[in-house]
Amino acid sequence: MILRPVFLFFCLLTSLGYTAEPPGQWYAPDPNGKPWQHEATGLTFPSTLGTHRLAGEFRFNDGVGRFLRYESLEERSRSDIFFFPASDKEITVDERQRLILQELDRVVKDVQAMVQAGRYKNLRVNPVGTGGVELWQMDALPMAAQLCEMTRVAQTPNGTEEALVKQWTGILYLKGYLITIRQMRSVTPEDDGAVAMQAFTSQVLKVIKDPPLRQGVSALIELYLQAPFSEDSVQATAAVLAYLKGASDLPISIPEYPVQDWLELCKKQAPGTEEHLLRAFMLGSAKRAFAGGNARDCLNAGAAQFAKIYRELLAKHPSLSVPSIDAFLSAAMEGKGADWLLSYSGGR
């Protein structure tokens, strides 16, 4: 029998690979790529996670449950992230773990039901793994995960065809919600999918870890703004910049021209000043980004902080005076730095 994994993956997508969905409605992703947010937990999911694209949100008619769907044709993978309210009061860690294991058991029973229905065969259910998701200055979130391996059976015009698939399910409890990460993908003898599944799961867990971490980073930004030239601010800035390097969802962008030229000139005249100016632009932008600002808002905020620090440095190092920066200062301090920079760089 010849396996046709691409065709069978489309079968997997169209048949959903899971039990039939209860009544509800699909909603398309934001047309402008705006991240999706779950207000109750504070989690924000981007339009893409690696090679996976956000295909949409499904809301159940009961008004409380919903899930996101991510798909990757490149990896022949589909992932759903469910949000279901589990408790409206504070419960113990043991109670959270019990709810998680109950939900995981239900997921496995769904798969077993599909085996009985003839949609899968050769089911292998691996042992449950338990652990926790470490959070910044918060208690770890209890989590359990389980892998199911099976053969997908599809009826095609050419007869019955089969493909090996894996379903990985991870469930955790956050702020009264059970969050289920359920990923299914085709596998082959050459690629068992383990690396790719781990990569996607790591990206989802990064989203889950982000709110408390971002709160800590916000505090470091405030520390910098209070005393930009202090030793504490230098250390705080290093941590903030490390965070921003991996925060692709934030609309922070600094025009290479003319800013890079300015930094090089300042470095020649007074070494070290260029680092203060770069920090100013990045952290000023980041503060606005954390408040929900768009790309232009962030550029204006970064420009204003840059201008403030430049003026302080200029008072100490008169040789830093650069005509183009001097022309930029007024616009930046008036909150119009973005327009000035875009106009200046466009006229190069």
Q: Could you tell me if 11 and 110 lie in one domain?
A: yes
Please compute the mean of the pLDDT values over residues 184-200 and round it to a whole number.
93
- Could you tell me if residue 152 is inside a domain? yes
When divided into structural domains, the chain yields a total of 2
Q: SS3 of 130, please?
A: strand
Pair 48, 127 in one domain: yes
The domain boundary, picked from 178, 209, 240, lies at 209
Torsion of CA 38, 40, 41, 42, to 10 degrees: 60
**Domain membership flag for residue 239:** no
In a domain? residue 306: yes
Q: Is residue 224 part of a domain?
A: no
* Residues 202 and 82 grouped into a single domain: yes
DSSP string, 52-111: EEEEEEEEETTSS-EEEEEEETTTTEEEEEEEEE--SS---HHHHHHHHHHHHHHHHHHH
Does this model's pTM top 0.85? My answer is: no
- For the cut 80, the answer to whether the pLDDT of residue 21 exceeds it is no
Could you read off the pLDDT of 214-264 as tens digits, one per residue? 999 999 999 999 999 999 999 999 999 999 998 888 899 999 999 999 999
219: in domain = no
Distances from the Cα of 62 to the Cα of 151, 218, 347, angstroms: 33, 37, 56
| pLDDT over 60 at 116, yes or no | yes
Domain-located, residue 229: no
- Does residue 79 register a pLDDT over 90? yes
DSSP 193: S
Same domain flag for 187 and 332:
no
The model's confidence at residue 5, banded by pLDDT at 50, 70 and 90, is very low
- Domain-embedded: residue 333: yes
Please give the Cα distance from 240 to 115 (Å, whole number). Answer: 49
What is the mean pLDDT of the segment spanning 27-50? 93
What token pair was written down for 65? 């449950």
Give the residue-averaged pLDDT of 153-160. 86
Question: What's the pLDDT tens digit per position in 276-298?
Answer: 999 999 999 999 999 989 999 99
User: Are 79 and 44 within 8 A, CB to CB?
Assistant: no
**CA distance linking residue 158 with residue 175, whole number of Å:** 49
The H-or-E segment that residue 265 falls in is helix 256-269
Last residue of one domain, picked from the residues 150, 176, 209: 209
Mean residue pLDDT across the chain = 90
Residues 130 and 27 in one domain: yes
**pLDDT at site 1:** 34
Query: Are residues 174 and 49 part of one domain?
Result: yes
Q: Are residues 27 and 108 in the same domain?
A: yes
Find the domain containing 329 and state its range.
250-346
- What is the distance between the alpha carbons of residues 62 and 255, in angstroms, rounded to a whole number? 48
Q: 221 in a domain, yes or no? A: no
Predicted confidence at residue 80, as pLDDT, reads 97
In terms of domains, do 46 and 102 share one? yes
Could you tell me if 275 and 201 lie in one domain?
A: no
Q: Is 251 in contact with 289 (CB distance < 8 Å)?
A: yes
